Structure 1
Amino acid sequence: MGTFITCAVTGGADTVSRHPRIPVTPREIADAAISAAKAGAAIVHLHARDPQTGQQSRDPELFAEIVSLIRDSNTDVIINVSCGMAGDLVLTETPEKELAGPGTDLLGPIERLQHLDRLCRDPKLKPEICTLDCGSMNFGDGDLVYLAPGTYLRPMAKHIRSLGIKPELEVFELGHLAFVKKMFAEGLLEGAPLIQFCLGIPGGAPAEPFVLDAFKQLAPAESTWSAFAIGRDELRFVPLAVGQGGNVRVGLEDNLYLDKGVFADNDTLVERAVGLIRGMGGSVLSASETRQKLGLEKPRA
């Protein structure tokens, strides 16, 4: 059947100070996505960053510029836009005085999708896929909590469906995967599920082979799934996921290094994943082949 590779090119974490080549501007992010596609990625997963500060941004016009630059390049790649923003609650040390502290960024469910609405106003910019983080969780062992309760996920799923975008259902622990099944049972999601197993994030499921197996066992039988682990486990999990019949994700959002002490770039991480897959006797799917596998339509020019 073959394996598709997703490249998560920049993410939203504060990694700019930790890596000299994190893509920040729309042009840098678009160029990174194009290079990843040429290296073998069928899908690019996009966040936007503030060009001045390097921090994550949910500005719809930044997303529009990034997607426009990619599409104008005539690079055949599937665009997957992040919707995992505006759910950050940073707790204070004095909750009796004030609950939410600096860094908190919270919006209602439909407001979190403003950038999707902007992209869908122009057929050329409409993404084929967007992410939906399927539950709340602690991020790390500090004061950050990501909030995505069922009362938010249900209207978000409905709105994404109304836009005609396929959701990539991000699951960080088994309870999230159970809620995915519940949303399908309630008719909120339709079609064959596309699920991303997100492993190794502090506060979520650990990056262990038996955990990957548990996720696979609990996922709906008709699912197409992909998996990634962060940091030094990213490349280790490529053959593990492929061996279980899944697809893979790499990129600077999840891992900054190609080898110990050697900074990676998105295209070099994709190239390494391609080599690992082919070294197992597998094949790497193109964007066109991945669209066919996922039932996606190629965007209008």
Structure 2
Amino acid sequence: MQDTIIITCALTGAGPRSKNPAQPITPQQIAQSGLEAAEAGAAILHVHVRDPRSGEFSGDLALYEETVGLIREQNKDVILNLTTGLGSGYYPKDPLLPREPGPASHIWTPEKRVEHVLRLRPEICTLDLVTAQVFGGIVISTEQVLTRMATLVRDAGVKPEIELFDAGDAVLAKHLMARGVLDGPGTFSFVMGLDFTMPADAETMMYMRDRLPAGAQWQGFGIGRNQLPMAMLSALLGGHVRVGMEDNVFISKGVFADSNAQQVRKVRRMLDDLGSTAATPRQARSILGLTA
């Protein structure tokens, strides 16, 4: 277990809108929620945006510009991590003959998927090495698309947080490093307990940790009720932690979280009880090898 542990707060996500009325939707709500989470102890804010009218996920560049601008106006220290996960969802027109995309599909070019990253230049963006069945569809990530995305964000000076959803994703990550597409040893996230991806349990987290290149930084995080158990397990096994309303809209069984900051405060207290301290943004930059 590390003495100093980075807390990432994932503010809203791209999954179906929850029934929690406190889930941030508009740029103003997402930014304010992020600022409060940073004040509570999150060194990194993981940012998605949503359509203010429907509440559904969005890739609208203007929404990212507004959200990031509002955060940076009031807090230039917190580290921003923008998603690039959208644009890979395939929902077949006929599930029994899945050769044609249905209207819910969102398959974008690599350039479109990282457009907001190239414009806003956060310090971190995600790179999801996943092909899996989630949210009733199929997320598709080909080596060619990932190579192009990784090249674009590297040229922009942005560090990828490599998201792994299953064991084969770690193999792919090492392959991309061997090809020079990704820089090692890398920063990784294990997405645990999401539909038909890796399960959220101790055996899987240890297995995934042991598949990483030597010296890699990592965090394992759980979806839904697995959030806090996986956060503590990640800390105990030498990783960092992630909480937030992207992953879980509850603060305890049957009780909605009233904010992202509430989740950050809770996990920070738990880390304090274990004898670790939450990293400041400056410390997080040093740990992750980011330019100060």
TM-score range, shorter chain: over 0.9
Cα offset, 1:276, TM superposition: 1.0
Aligned residue in 1 for 2:183: 190
Alignment of 1:1-301 (within 5 A): 1-16=3-18, 18-74=19-75, 76-93=77-94, 99-119=100-120, 126-139=121-134, 142=136, 144-264=137-257, 265-298=259-292
Query: 2 CA distance for matches of 1:97 and 1:278?
Result: 49
Return the letter of the residue paired with 2:243.
Answer: V
Query: 1 CA distance for matches of 2:98 and 2:146?
Result: 30
Please provide the CA RMSD for this pair. Answer: 1.4
The answer to whether the Cα contact below 8 Å between 1:9 and 1:33 also exists between their aligned partners in 2 is yes
Superposed CA offset, 1:209-237 (max 9, x none): 10000000101111000110011110111
In structure 1, the residue corresponding to 2:90 is in which secondary structure?
strand
Cα offset, 1:98, TM superposition: 6.7
TM-score by length of 1: 0.93
Cα offset, 1:203, TM superposition: 1.2
Query: 2 CA distance for matches of 1:161 and 1:241?
Result: 27
Query: 1 CA distance for matches of 2:25 and 2:95?
Result: 34
Superposed CA offset, 1:3-39 (max 9, x none): 00000000011124x1111111111000010010011
Cα offset, 1:297, TM superposition: 2.2
The answer to whether the Cα contact below 8 Å between 1:33 and 1:70 also exists between their aligned partners in 2 is yes
The answer to whether the Cα contact below 8 Å between 2:118 and 2:153 also exists between their aligned partners in 1 is no
* CA 1:97–1:37: 2 relative to 1, 3 Å: closer
Return the letter of the residue paired with 1:160.
Answer: V
Cα offset, 1:251, TM superposition: 0.2
The answer to whether the Cα contact below 8 Å between 2:92 and 2:98 also exists between their aligned partners in 1 is no
In the alignment, structure 2 segments of 5+ residues that lack a partner are none
Cα offset, 1:66, TM superposition: 0.7
* CA 1:262–1:109: 2 relative to 1, 3 Å: same
Superposed CA offset, 1:95-122 (max 9, x none): 6597211211111222211111221xxx
Superposed CA offset, 1:84-143 (max 9, x none): 001111112366597211211111222211111221xxxxxx200000001311115x4x
Q: Could you list the runs of 4 or more consecutive aligned residues of structure 1 that deviate by over 2 angstroms after TM superposition? A: 92-98
Aligned residue in 2 for 1:123: none
The answer to whether the Cα contact below 8 Å between 1:34 and 1:75 also exists between their aligned partners in 2 is no
The answer to whether the Cα contact below 8 Å between 1:200 and 1:229 also exists between their aligned partners in 2 is yes
Cα offset, 1:282, TM superposition: 1.0
Superposed CA offset, 1:157-209 (max 9, x none): 11111110000000000100111111111111125400001100111000011
The answer to whether the Cα contact below 8 Å between 2:9 and 2:42 also exists between their aligned partners in 1 is yes
The answer to whether the Cα contact below 8 Å between 1:48 and 1:58 also exists between their aligned partners in 2 is yes
In the alignment, structure 1 segments of 5+ residues that lack a partner are 120-125
Query: 2 CA distance for matches of 1:80 and 1:24?
Result: 18
The answer to whether the Cα contact below 8 Å between 1:192 and 1:222 also exists between their aligned partners in 2 is yes
* CA 1:225–1:98: 2 relative to 1, 3 Å: closer
Query: 1 CA distance for matches of 2:110 and 2:251?
Result: 37
* CA 1:98–1:191: 2 relative to 1, 3 Å: closer
The answer to whether the Cα contact below 8 Å between 1:227 and 1:246 also exists between their aligned partners in 2 is yes
Query: 1 CA distance for matches of 2:153 and 2:75?
Result: 26
* CA 1:3–1:72: 2 relative to 1, 3 Å: same
